[in-house]
Amino acid sequence: MHVRSGRALASGRYCNQLKYILLCRRRKRQVDSYRSYLRRVLTSVHPDLGISAKAMEILNSMTHDMYERITTEAARLLRITGTP
């Protein structure tokens, strides 16, 4: 008989239920998103304006693309100059 969180695993039924619950509680894969930051900047600049989901997705993609371009350029310049 095993003890887990104060309850005894006397039967296999409880053990199967516990496995099912743990499988269902798996964490979702974290997706890089700038949505919360973009919304924060928008509300600080124009508090009465909103943004559609499609426009937010476009801005998120643009921000992600710019971040990738800047990091690749920084890595290229680092390789050229050879200084950390």
User: What is the per-residue pLDDT across 14-69, written as a single tens digit (0 to 9) for each?
Assistant: 777 777 777 777 666 667 789 999 999 999 999 999 999 999 999 999 999 999 99
The set of residues, in sequence order, having a beta carbon less than 8 Å from that of 84 and lying 6+ positions away, is 78
In a domain, 68, yes or no: yes
Global pTM reads 0.60
Q: What is the CATH number of the domain that holds 77?
A: 1.10.20.10
Domain enclosing residue 44, as ranges: 35-81
In a domain, 41, yes or no: yes
In a domain, 57, yes or no: yes
- Please tell me the total count of domains within the chain: 1
User: What pLDDT sits at residue 38?
Assistant: 94
